């Protein structure tokens, strides 16, 4: 794989699921090189949870494997409410702030999905914004569609399909045992796909929205 990546930039953009994939890939690739000292994070960082972006350089191959934090692919925002107090919103009409930094990468892997199940996003009350307008209430699937449409238009307009490969990773329903991700649930002991239909959920509705948006993109934009 490093030979295939020689001289290229491989970039992951999205939430913690893409970060996990990025971390795993960096570890696997670093473990395969002859001289691990020639693999290093561009800014010398040792912890990978708090910064907006990370880039591992594989010097002998002149390639990088990078991650940009963008859990919604559109911009998290702040604006004053009627009392002048800043409140958080999500700009459905603006692609993520880091987009100019990776639009010329050779391979770009996007994902989003699970953050849209959190309380503010799932309820959609006084949170979603387009231009100066903040919706009193907006269904999460419609907000998700608007955000993905913004992302898709940006890809069509800014990423050169003759140079870059673009992938979008879908997602599955949560599958923790013993609780949810933030209440003691875990899935790290699983080694095979779940086959018991009792535990299988229906195809996530947001994935249907995603598929429809992808079909509307220009040919060759997405792999």
**Residue 218 gets which letter from DSSP?**
P
pLDDT of residue 175: 65
pLDDT at 147: 98
Instruction: Report the C-alpha gap between 33 and 51 in whole angstroms.
Output: 26
The chain-wide mean pLDDT, for the chain, equals: 90
Residue 140 has pLDDT above 60, yes or no: yes
Which pairing describes strands 86-95 and 128-130: parallel, antiparallel, or unpaired?
parallel
Position 223 scores a pLDDT of 56
Considering only 15-29, 130-144, 178-192, which range has the smallest mean pLDDT? Answer: 178-192
- Is the pLDDT at 177 greater than 60, yes or no? yes
Q: Which residue has the higher pLDDT, 7 or 181?
A: 7
For residues 195 and 17, give the distance between their C-alpha atoms in angstroms, rounded to a whole number.
Answer: 22
Asked if the model's pLDDT at residue 196 lies above 80, the reply is: no
Residue 79 has what pLDDT?
84
Q: How far apart are CA 56 and CA 43, in angstroms?
A: 9
Tell whether the model's pLDDT for residue 220 goes beyond 80.
no
pTM for this model (two decimals): 0.89
Predicted confidence (pLDDT) per residue in 69-111, tens digit: 999 999 999 887 777 788 899 999 999 999 999 999 999 999 9
Tell me the Ramachandran region of residue 29: left when phi exceeds 0, alpha when psi lies from -120 to 50, beta otherwise. Answer: alpha
Per-residue pLDDT tens over the stretch 22-64: 999 999 999 999 999 999 999 888 877 778 999 999 999 999 9
């Amino acid at each position: 794989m490093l030979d295939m990546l020689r001289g290229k930039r491989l970039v992951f953009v999205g939430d913690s699921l893409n970060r996990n994939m990025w971390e795993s890939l960096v570890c696997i690739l670093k473990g395969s090189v002859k001289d691990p000292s020639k693999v290093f994070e561009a800014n010398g960082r040792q912890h990978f949870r708090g910064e907006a972006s990370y880039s591992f350089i594989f010097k002998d191959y002149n390639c990088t494997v990078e991650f940009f934090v963008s859990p919604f692919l559109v911009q998290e925002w702040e604006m004053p409410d009627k009392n002048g107090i800043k409140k958080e919103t999500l700009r459905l009409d603006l692609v993520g702030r880091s987009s100019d930094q990776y639009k010329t990468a050779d391979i770009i892997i996007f994902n989003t999905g699970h953050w849209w199940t959190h309380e503010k996003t799932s309820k959609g009350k006084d949170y979603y914004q387009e231009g100066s307008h903040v919706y009193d209430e907006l269904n999460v699937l419609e907000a998700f569609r608007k955000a993905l449409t913004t992302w898709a238009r940006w890809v069509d307009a800014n990423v050169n399909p003759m140079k870059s490969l673009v992938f979008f990773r879908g997602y599955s329903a949560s599958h923790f045992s013993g609780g949810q991700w933030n209440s003691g649930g875990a899935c790290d002991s699983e080694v095979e796909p779940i086959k018991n239909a009792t535990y299988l959920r229906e195809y996530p509705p947001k994935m249907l929205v995603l598929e429809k948006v992808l079909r509307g993109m220009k040919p060759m934009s997405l792999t």
